[in-house]
Structure 1
Amino acid sequence: MPEQDDTLLLHLNEAIATTRDKDSLFKIVTTKLRLIFPFDLIGINVFDAELKNKRLFLRDYYGAEEIVSELPATVDYFTPIAGSPVEKLVADPRVRQITLQDYMGDYPAYEPFLRMLHLGVSQLTVVPLRTAGHLTGFLTLASRRRPNLTPADEKLLEKIGSLVAVAVANTLAFEEVARREQERTLQLNINNALLSIKQREPLFRAVAEELGRLVPFAYFGIRVQRAGQQANIFQAFAEFLRDTPEAPLVALDPERDQDQRLSDPAGIYQQNSELLHEPAIYSGAEFKELAVRYPRLRYIYEHYGTRAVLVAPIWQRPDGAAVLTLSAARPDAFRNEDLATVVALVPQIALALENLFAFEQIEELRAQVEQERTYLVDEINTSARFGADSGAFIGSGPALQQTLLRIRQVASTDTTVLISGETGTGKELVARELHNASPRHNRALIKLNCAALPAQLIESELFGHEKGAFTGAVERRIGKFELANGGSIFLDEIGELPLDLQAKLLRVLQEREFERLGGTKVLHSDARVIAATNRVLADEVAAGRFRADLYYRLNVFPIALAPLRERREDIEPLLRHFVQRLSKRLGKPIRQVRPADLAALQAYGWPGNIRELEHVLEQAIIVSQGPFLEFAGFAAAPLVLALPAGAASNFAPLKTLKEQERDHILAALQRTGGRVSGAQGAALLLDINPKTLEARMKKLGIRRTVGVE
């Protein structure tokens, strides 16, 4: 029936030219074909350009409805032609009729044939599809009864095959255009996310959700190994998981790397791993083999049912590496097109990572600068008298000259310095001079008095804490070692540091690394350490109150400050310096010192050293009325000042340092009415921390109510 054949070809040609929807088009094709060639099942397989792989483009069964649901209409992935009956058809591509039994001997386990036999289908009519003379696939008509095809029927099927080949090519082209349009939309949406989202978790959640519209996956992960981190340790940068394709993405616990079941001793994320070399899809037996080798993959294989992973290295370079991983439960979940889509996104994801690194670094620097600003403002307010104007380096005696020599010798290095000396000898001023004369002078000198805080707070002050690390930790706090990065840190009264914190300080000195309280991230600090103590640390080590290893780490370059009683030749220039400076600050005329008073000042033991001398002079300047400074009548002043110089040496008993310190504190409390802290407190008068003063009072048996002492 040539006229009927021509009508069929005309209808098919018209449908191909006017219909763009794949399902509608092939519904027309199959309906028209069944008018001339009765069949129970129709299938179209397409090949790749090299004729190495095939995939099911279309399948439709005209039988019981319950059976239809068992058969996939299409399959999105390619399978090898080799090892299947199709290899025989490709070897001799022509219209032919075959019986399944003819092939079952060579391919007894070929699953599509077994399914057809289960349905009672045993006869196949195979039609090659060619485009521009190149074989692109096969059209298969299957039936329960063998059709009797005439040569004319075969010629008609050849013509139909040519039309169907054009329809398939057009559909694939339309699908490719649609896929590229989806990719462009994906890239545009990701670009918009990059521009509008600056936080890590929301940004990569948006990227994962957009990617999930094109590529089916159960897990999305980005892992990064950055410069400065421990070698070959990849940290999760973003990880999301969902139970079903429709389920929302759930962010995974960032601490999950601590799970021993996910440990990576074999190195799946080490820089020499094959998973970091090239983009690839691992599925089926290949993925199972990887799961045997790597505990992390074995865990997801067993617990999540993962059967395929798609890996796309983002970068691998001397300063670190990054990798994007998708995983799925179906072994055929990922296609080469999916890999191409992910690889096309790699430059954008790399840019997102770089931007986030920059944003996070800027945020850390901003927080550090703010902390430094707050710290330095506080330092300016509380330490205005420090520096050259403080009198710390006034004098020409041999003890001072030795100190200045030691400072010059070590200032330009990064060597750890231990400053020892009694209270008031100027240990902090020496630390400041060391810092100011060093190459680090453009950065901050950060102070911490180890005796000024409760033991439980010192660790937070030293190393910082994360939000929620302990009760009251409502926000992240940067510690002193972070603030001092690139500068110097001054640890005053280091001998008061609790033993458990001594071990942590030792780690910083040895490894230059630490963690914030409540955190797991290893931080590094390039801070020069300057420590000070008024204790004899060697004796503290012998008594078991100070770690020997920490002592030797601190005592690399010791500087011992002489007490003022061993610098009597410097008392007169110090006195002139303080009288001029304090008189100007207090708005008082400069008064002279009687020779007898000067001799008494030089004879006094000065348990409070330079600080005590300054305070005595300040009180004398305030109350004096005549041409000379008056020292008599002050409980805080040296008792010997009421006597002539000769009598001072003959009659004044020499008190112990402990007695002198107790008298000095009592005098300060007497002047402040027993107040310890605050603007009118003894701590301010004595220029020490209130908590330190309270500790000294307790040690010396001094009560707050001092009127009866």
Structure 2
Amino acid sequence: MSDQDETLLLHLNEAIATIRDKDSLFKVVTTKLRLIFPFDLIGINVFDAELKMKRLFLRDYYGVDEAPPPPAGMDQFTPIAGSPLEKLLDNPRVQQFTPEEYLADYPTYAPFNKFQKLGVTHLTAVPLHIGGRLTGILTLASRRTPHLTPADEKLLDKIGSLIAVAVANTLAFEEVARREQERTLQLNINNALLSIKQREPLFRAVAEELSRVVRFEYFGIRVQRAGQGQEFQAFAEFSRIEPGAPLVALAADRDNDESLANKVGIYQQNTDLLQVPAIYSGPDFKTLAVRYPRLRYVYEHYHTRALLVAPIWQRPDGAAVLTLSAADPDAFRSEDLATVLALVPQIALALENLFAFEQIEELKAQVEQERTYLVDEINTSARFGADSGAFVGSGPALQLVQRRIGLVAPTDTTVLISGETGTGKELVARELHNASPRHARALIKLNCAALPAQLIESELFGHEKGAFTGAVERRIGKFELANGGSIFLDEIGELPLDLQAKLLRVLQEKEFERLGGTKVLHSDARVIAATNRVLADEVAAGRFRADLYYRLNVFPIELAPLRERREDIEPLMRHFIQRLSKRLGKPVRQVRPTDLAALQAYSWPGNIRELEHVLEQAIIVSQGPFLEFAGFAAAPLVLAAGTAPAAAPSFAPLKTLKEQERDHILAALQRTGGRVSGANGAALLLDINPKTLEARMKKLGIRRTVGVEA
């Protein structure tokens, strides 16, 4: 090897070791290489690990006034099969050939046709190896015949190994830079998601950040939602008229007052374009433009030649898709699609949040209008005796409840109301409040079993703006609203243990903080709690704090089940018949003595509420002078006109209360097809908490499958 050759290799090694910029590095490499091997064009193709795909890494012309542009898509991976490179793979060594030698086998291969027009007569192929593995091909093209000696070929082989290392390093640096750029993009978009809650500013920020790494003229997000037709509606649309100009919200088209986005894209939900991530450019986009009028419009009027499609979601309740379009057919690369797809989860989250925010804004005015009405309605509701039937009757159990309400109502003492479902706990709480000095202020209600555990704390104590995802503004909690009035905590036994400690603090200190806040707030609210559980048993089982139980159980009021108030069934029944007949527009019908006896003999596991429902159904279905209790599936009784299965209980064996409860639950499950919870579940039918119903089913040996016993 000559001194000149060694100097060349030394310079190349030094350049590869010290220069990181791709353009600067290969300018040095090609300049040094041309000192020994004159050429007019240099090209480097890199291969994938399986030697199936190729990508143009570098191409440069020398001594050509107007070099042709690179073939479309050459900077993306394309198959090696069908190109002259597949022959070079069969024998990867330094070799020379002419364009004509390959034109016979590849007559449509565009680069060689351009070589002929440029006067290129000879090509030299140099394999690029790293560790014995072929990674690419270096091609040197010239207008004159190179005379390579075996020593020259050996030197080129060594140079090829050095260039292979340089290419690998450059690709690695580019990948690191791309990932860093992608992470920066994701971070900036995350910051936008956290700080911007309005639709247009948020997606303008997303589009601006995306435009830093992907070239496009138009950015659009289209959404189709269930119940809003099959047409996709524009959700976010921005355009950049001039390169480098800021994105602006897409304005109406002047020709026909229809926005550009109403002409861009394919909107039908079943269109494949919206279901598969893809890039459509050049001839592919033109084919679509011929097929779809809206794409043809932008093809002709806005010179759009490339479309990038990134589905955000496809699901039964609708679909969403992000599209980018550009006039340059080569604007989008596979890396761009990968970058956009990496952002899809964040954009999907932003859409979900914005849907929720917009729904909140829509309901906010309605809630504000209803709030005053609801508070007034609660405070001015008719007392029990005139409406619900809670105080209808004169039995000893009811008289005891009335006496205890009269004793405790004038005080601020905490009251714990216990009793089975349907015994009227909420109505007793309202009577307590109405009979107290606080009756002019609000009675605020919260059902601890009706909300997810993570929302109960916000409902009780409120939250500050930004306290958690979705907290777009400050919210006042129930304790704050009840200041000076009363707060009714129904189903207190369902309160999670971690919130029990916070509730205990309010009871003891009368103070709390909003979620996300640091300011200590005070509330002078009288607490009335209710439960259908035996809290002493819950304490023993470790599901309820003992200290909270003693704080709540200062003045207990226990409501007897209807089966222990049989003397009150007839006055309750007549009260409900009068009230329900008037409300339903039905005549007041009488009850047969036999039916009355059956009603009094029934165990009423649903208590007063169940009695009311049975009577309401009978009033609806009855036609003659008497109420008919047969012929409807919802009734727990099977009463036929003129018969009285329970009229003579002294000689007709009665089921135990446990058996009655078991039969009643099975009947409800039979009606709901075995469903326990939800809109069509047995718990709703029985007006009982689903967890309580499941506990009773387990205790009674009832499986979810109707008719199959444990």
Normalising to structure 2: TM-score of the pair? 0.50
Query: Which protein is bigger by CA-based radius of gyration?
Result: 1
